[in-house]
Chains A and B, each alone.
Chain A
């Protein structure tokens, strides 16, 4: 079976957050609380164990020293999501085998296997995966309508009442019955496109050409090998500014690629200590 993924085209995003809501509704995720951030229209702030789509709002101020007040001339919006890396840090770090690559080539956390150790959290180069706090009574209202049948499916992060790692499943359960993931289905402007990975990449390349012809500085993020040992991303993005503007890492690195260097350094240190020890004891 060919791999599937998301192509998120930020030039079509209108910042409506339908993706966030559709994701939470389908996956029966609780809200992350009701704190007002005062930061543009972003009050969920980041991806979390229970927020699997997050719309970033970037207000870009015009450089005009004559202006009485700073003027926002561009307001970028981007729906962020788990990148579903070819070589995923979380996948490599998982000691229980809870995180797997499924038949669609997507990175999937099996909540019934996960023991909540959190190794995956520090191993994600994009800061995506997170532990889901135990879901206490206060947050229960959000899952009051949880369908009993789906509770047994072992496919939602909250079936264990939290205490496990959570992130986008690329709607594994929907894909298995031939449905489009909830976020892509809900997106009114086709900013989020789901489909066969190779076809999405082709579409994305054509889109970049179209936009460049219109004078828009479009670039893809993660459609090809992103470097750092991660490989291409199954969820990739079309951006009109540098990745860091959208809070995406410019040069993400897979932690395990640092292991040879780390082991070599450790071996070198051990050897140096041995030599020093030998020298000290020999001199006596």
Chain B
């Protein structure tokens, strides 16, 4: 989540969901909170009961909207124009929290004088290379003196102050423009701006909540940046009832990112070395990744990780086996890998707890890619569409040579381990029953595979086999012990074997090992597993589970107090400096470096190079701009009303016959298409459960009554939704919850398609992935599935 990481220093939700109940206003946008996170939504309901104003901004009127005090319908794909409009309103009306902004953001810094904004260059920032479609980010920086120090103007008067550059950047994002781009009336927009401003400041706080409705766009990271800028201006980060809640969609997705399922990360958010950078030795890697702020401890984290990976074999003399690590040679994220599979480059495929054939994008390409593999291994609790791709509609098994293995997997109830939720909270769960039938845990599968491979290569003298042979791989017999794995991740002293208590214990001399520095402290001694702790309370509940970092629940909570260490207000006290006790006090673990005092080493955003929240994101962070800019989606129903530059100039896509994409504005596809999930269904896990399947038994699309009448469609009819890429057959659900919007004088309809269905289970239907071509955000390679264009007609689709 580099949107949050760039702005605040850590790529995670800034707070915890329980804290939402302390908010005076909650803006939910890019999330269908009540439907996708019904249990966490109880804290939104608690806030509402305490008098908070709940606002939902969304293209569809959903169950979240039904519970909100204010619902605003906006066109999917227009959120930067909308949020940028609020930023403009806050700046124009001087409604920002000046003391907070001055103390905790880079508002006062001066931007280099050769930086050019999108206002100067018709929608581009300075440094754009028209041929390569990338930016040279040299000019996206602050004015620095020879010693590297940054020029500031505390009066905020200098025209090149960040806040003034920001002012100019968003100056044309007026209420009129918001109405024209987003379809939101000026009256409603004004009401929202006033509500946000009134519920922010010393005495009150506003929280934002978003989910993949903000991320799955070609400018996804910049959506989050706009929200971050706004929350910094309003002074809502690091304060109770404030923050930005990034709602994670799957039970353990936070844990999966922490322990690095992403191709370019090592556990604990350490960068994966890459051949595209000078990172081929440990020293070069550390140089390349050197940052000031807390990241100065990077060597200790990297060396400890290598000691955890390679044990005794990792020594100072051999750079702790740094050269055993694989190196990235380019973008190996999901979408490029999918293309490579289709092109015959990828030969083998492990699919564990994933179902790309139903939940991926461009389903036809995925299936074609699976057909070209030599082998595929599926580890899943259910037979998925991916596992059975060879017998899908229209496939001839006799012509498919892929060798397929299916390993039945144990479910959560059949295994021990931790789940890490959106609060970054590790919670332990015990095995309740033995795995049924032949099913095995995924940990057993990987552990056993590793052991068998080590056996196969035993005795090899080939240097390329050393990483496998030297890998530490001792977690007991049979099923690996989840606790032993967690203890290794926590870290230990390599000389005594003692568990480590904190990541401040980690060293870069080989005397410590830790699988992920951010988790150090979860198992602080041999007998303690803090993920098991179950002492709840109505506050931050520090005795329930264990949250990284250092069991801190709210990040950046130094900002909950004024620079002098006193709470901004009695009503919003959270963490403050206790002069008498000479320490930080409050409801949470203070987010400051050890030994910090007010005015001394007490940066609110301590992971940032300069310790400040980033209104302006200097060059090295994001590739598509230091400020967010409204670009239309790669395919839209309108032209960009703000700039000649239609869409994100740095977005990446593949123009090829198996990835047919529409024109930027294509009359054949006149409606906005958006996809989402619904409460009753997740995917393959729920489609096999009759109690869930009966609640939403078939693939459907949601359309407004006017579009239905125009197309001769009645609720319950079979219809076909089509894009340039493909067709999807489903049932029509006609409802006035869907609203046509007026966008720049044009009436725009939205077609909503739930992304939960596939060919298997009791609730069946075409996958929305059939409609979505591969296009991606340049920062995190995420696909664009929230804002596309489509056509709809009555009747079934053509056979595949």
Q: A-side interface residues toward B, CB under 8 Å? A: 12, 14-18, 20-21, 24-25, 30-41, 43-44, 59, 61, 68-72, 74-77, 141-142, 188-190
Residues of A within 8 A of B700 (CB): 36
Asked if A21 contacts B737 (CB within 8 A), the reply is no
| Chain B residues within an 8 Å CB radius of A142 | 690-691
CB distance from B670 to the nearest CB of A (A): 15
- Residues of A with C-beta under 8 A to B737: 59, 72, 75
Closest residue of chain B to A61, judged by CB? B736
Within 667-687 of B, Cβ neighbours of A (below 8 Å) are at: 678-680
Q: Judging by beta carbons under 8 Å apart, are B739 and A38 in contact?
A: no
Contact B691 A71, beta carbon cutoff 8 Å: no
Q: Does B694 lie at the interface of the complex (its beta carbon under 8 Å from any beta carbon of A)?
A: yes
Task: Check B63–A75 contact: CB distance below 8 A.
Answer: yes
What chain B residues lie within 8 Å of A61 (beta carbons)? 736
New contact pairs (4) apart from A76-B66, A77-B63, CB-CB < 8 Å: A41-B63, A41-B678, A41-B696, A68-B747
Does B65 lie at the interface of the complex (its beta carbon under 8 Å from any beta carbon of A)? yes
Q: Which of A25, A34, A35, A37 has the most CB of B within 10 A?
A: A34
Given contacts A39-B715, A69-B740, A74-B66, contact A34 B35 (CB under 8 A): no
- Whole-angstrom distance between the alpha carbons of A112 and B15 in the complex? 54
Q: How many residues of B contact A (CB 8 A)?
A: 45
Closest A-chain residue to B73, C-beta based? A71
Task: List, in ascending order, chain B residues with CB within 8 A of A76's CB.
Answer: 66
Task: Give min CB distance, B370 to chain A, whole Å.
Answer: 28
Find out whether the CB atom of A59 lies under 8 angstroms from the CB atom of B735.
yes
- Docked CA distance A72–B734 (Å): 11
Return the contact of A43 from the options B66, B696, B714, B735 (Cβ within 8 A): B696
| Cβ distance A2 to chain B, nearest Cβ, rounded Å | 27
Assess whether B41 is interfacial by the CB under 8 Å rule.
Answer: yes
Q: Are B694 and A71 in contact (CB under 8 A)?
A: no
* Option from B41, B732, B763 in Cβ contact (under 8 Å) with A14: B41
| Chain A nearest CB, measured from B729 CB (Å) | 13
**B34:A16 contact, CB within 8 angstroms:** yes
Tell whether B524 is near chain A: CB-to-CB under 8 Å.
no
Residues of chain B from 734 to 775 with CB closer than 8 A to chain A in the complex: 734-737, 739-740, 747, 762-763
Cα A77 to Cα B64 in complex, Å, equals: 12
**Is there a chain A Cβ closer than 8 Å to B152's Cβ?**
no
Residue of A nearest to B700 (CB): A36
Among residues of A, the one whose C-beta sits closest to the C-beta of B717 is: A38
> In the complex the two chains form, is B732's CB within 8 Å of A38's CB?
yes
Q: Which of B694, B695, B714, B716 has the most CB of A within 10 A?
A: B694
Give chain A residues whose Cβ lies under 8 Å from the Cβ of B734: 38
Compute how far the CA of A36 lies from the CA of B697 in the bound complex, rounded to whole angstroms.
6
Q: Which residues of A contact B39 (CB under 8 A)?
A: 188
Q: Are A12 and B736 in contact, CB atoms less than 8 angstroms apart? A: no
16 examples of A-B residue contacts, CB within 8 angstroms: A14-B66, A16-B63, A17-B679, A20-B695, A24-B691, A31-B690, A33-B694, A37-B716, A38-B716, A69-B705, A69-B736, A75-B65, A142-B690, A188-B42, A189-B38, A190-B42
B638 at the binding interface (Cβ < 8 Å): no
Bound complex: CA of A210 vs CA of B797, how far in Å?
53
Q: Which residues of B contact A69 (CB under 8 A)?
A: 704-707, 736, 739-740
B692: nearest residue on chain A (CB-CB)?
A21
Contact A44/B695 with A14-B67, A16-B35, A31-B762 known, Cβ cut-off 8 Å: yes
**Does B265 reach chain A (CB closer than 8 Å)?**
no
Residue in B65, B691, B735 whose beta carbon sits within 8 Å of that of A31 in the complex: B691
A16 to B67, CA, bound (A): 12
- Chain A residues contacting B707 (CB-CB under 8 Å) are 69
The one of B41, B680, B706, B736 that contacts A72, using a Cβ cutoff of 8 Å: B736
Cα of A61 to Cα of B737 in the assembled complex, Å: 9
Residues of B within 8 A of A37 (CB): 716
Most buried by A among B34, B61, B731, B735: B735
Chain A residue contacts of B34, Cβ below 8 A: 14-16
> CB-CB < 8 A to B697: which residues of A?
33-36, 43
- Determine if B690 and A30 form an interchain contact, defined as CB atoms under 8 angstroms apart: yes
Contact indicator A75/B693 (Cβ below 8 Å): no
Q: Does B716 contact A189, Cβ atoms closer than 8 Å? A: no
The 8 Å CB contact of B736, one of A17, A36, A70, A189, is A70
